[in-house]
Structure 1
Amino acid sequence: MSISVKEDYVIPFLKKLLDTPSPSGFTHNIMELIEQEAKSLGIPSKRNAKGGVILTLKGQHEGPALCLSAHVDTLGAMVRSITTEGTLAITSVGGFMMNSIENEYCQIHTRDGRTYTGTILSTHPSVHVYSDAREFPRKEKNMEVRIDELVHTKEDVLALGISVGDFISFDARAVITPSGFVKSRHIDDKASVAALFGLLESSKREGWKPSRDLVLLISNYEEVGHGAAYIPDGIEEMIAVDMGCIGDDLSCKETDVSICAKDSSGPYDYAMTSRLIELAKANDIPYAVDIYPHYGSDASAALGAGHNIRAALIGPGVHASHAMERTTVQAVLNTAKLLGAYVTA
Structure 2
Amino acid sequence: MANKNIEETFKLLVDLVSIPSPSGNTNEVITYVENYLAKLQVETKRNRKGGLIATLNGKDSSRHRMLTAHVDTLGAMVKEIKANGRLKIDLIGGFKYNSIEGEYCEIETSSGKKFTGTILMRQTSVHVYKDAGKAERNQDNMEVRIDEQVKNADEVRALGIEVGDFISFDPRVEVTESGFIKSRHLDDKASVAILLQLIKQIKEESIQMPYTTYFLISNNEEIGYGGNSNITSETVEYLAVDMGAMGDGQSTDEFTVSICVKDASGPYHYELRKQLVRLAEENNVDYKLDIYPYYGSDASAAIRSGHDIVHGLIGPGIDSSHAFERTHQASIENTAKLLYHYVQSNLVI
What band does the TM-score fall into relative to the shorter chain? over 0.9
Q: Distance in 1 between matches of 2:3 and 2:104?
A: 38
Kept in 2: contact 1:231–1:302 (CA 8 A): no
Task: Please give the root-mean-square deviation of Cα atoms over the aligned residues, in Å.
Answer: 1.0
Q: Distance in 1 between matches of 2:340 and 2:58?
A: 13
Q: Distance in 1 between matches of 2:298 and 2:217?
A: 10
Match of residue 274 from structure 1 = 274
Q: Map Cα deviations across residues 223-250 of structure 1 (whole Å, 9 max, x no partner).
A: 0111112133121110000000111111
Match of residue 241 from structure 1 = 241
Does residue 1:334 correspond to 2:325, yes or no?
A: no
Match of residue 304 from structure 1 = 304
Amino acid at match of 2:214: V
Residue 160 of structure 1: CA displacement? Answer: 0.2
Kept in 1: contact 2:3–2:333 (CA 8 A): no
Match of residue 314 from structure 2 = 314
Q: Distance in 2 between matches of 1:62 and 1:157?
A: 55
Does residue 1:219 correspond to 2:218, yes or no?
A: yes
What SS does the corresponding residue of 2:244 show, helix, strand or coil? coil
Kept in 1: contact 2:180–2:329 (CA 8 A): yes
Does residue 1:89 correspond to 2:77, yes or no?
A: no
Q: Distance in 2 between matches of 1:42 and 1:6?
A: 20
Kept in 2: contact 1:5–1:198 (CA 8 A): no
Match of residue 5 from structure 2 = 6
Amino acid at match of 1:309: I
What SS does the corresponding residue of 2:343 show, helix, strand or coil? helix
Runs ≥4 residues deviating over 3 A: 2-5
Mapping of residues 152-167 of structure 1, within 5 Å:
152-167=151-166
Q: Map Cα deviations across residues 206-232 of structure 1 (whole Å, 9 max, x no partner).
A: 111221111000000000111112133
Residue 4 of structure 1: CA displacement? Answer: 4.3
Amino acid at match of 2:30: M
Match of residue 141 from structure 2 = 142
What SS does the corresponding residue of 1:195 show, helix, strand or coil? helix
Amino acid at match of 1:321: S
Q: Map Cα deviations across residues 51-103 of structure 1 (whole Å, 9 max, x no partner).
A: 00000111122321100000000000000010000000000000111111000
Amino acid at match of 1:59: G
Kept in 1: contact 2:243–2:315 (CA 8 A): yes
What SS does the corresponding residue of 2:313 show, helix, strand or coil? strand
Q: Distance in 2 between matches of 1:266 and 1:215?
A: 25
Amino acid at match of 1:9: E
Amino acid at match of 1:45: T
Mapping of residues 12-31 of structure 1, within 5 Å:
12-31=11-30
Number of equivalent positions: 344
Q: Distance in 2 between matches of 1:4 and 1:188?
A: 20
Does residue 1:132 correspond to 2:156, yes or no?
A: no
Amino acid at match of 1:98: Y
Residue 336 of structure 1: CA displacement? Answer: 1.6
Q: Distance in 1 between matches of 2:330 and 2:59?
A: 29
What SS does the corresponding residue of 1:149 show, helix, strand or coil? coil
What SS does the corresponding residue of 2:14 show, helix, strand or coil? helix
Amino acid at match of 1:46: K
Distance 1:4 1:144, change over 3 A: closer
- Judge which range, 70-79 or 123-132, deviates more: 123-132
Q: Map Cα deviations across residues 251-280 of structure 1 (whole Å, 9 max, x no partner).
A: 111001000000011100111100001111
Residue 5 of structure 1: CA displacement? Answer: 3.6
Does residue 1:228 correspond to 2:227, yes or no?
A: yes
- Judge which range, 328-337 or 196-205, deviates more: 328-337
What SS does the corresponding residue of 1:129 show, helix, strand or coil? coil
Q: Distance in 2 between matches of 1:63 and 1:24?
A: 34
Residue 123 of structure 1: CA displacement? Answer: 1.1
Q: Distance in 1 between matches of 2:63 and 2:5?
A: 29
Residue 11 of structure 1: CA displacement? Answer: 1.3
Q: Distance in 2 between matches of 1:307 and 1:227?
A: 14
Kept in 2: contact 1:67–1:237 (CA 8 A): yes
Does residue 1:117 correspond to 2:116, yes or no?
A: yes
What SS does the corresponding residue of 2:248 show, helix, strand or coil? coil
Could you tell me the percent identity over the aligned residues?
50
Mapping of residues 198-217 of structure 1, within 5 Å:
198-217=197-216
- Judge which range, 2-11 or 183-192, deviates more: 2-11
Q: Distance in 1 between matches of 2:110 and 2:299?
A: 32
Gaps of at least 5 residues in structure 1 are none
Match of residue 265 from structure 1 = 265
What TM-score comes out, normalization by structure 2 length?
Answer: 0.97
Residue 190 of structure 1: CA displacement? Answer: 0.2
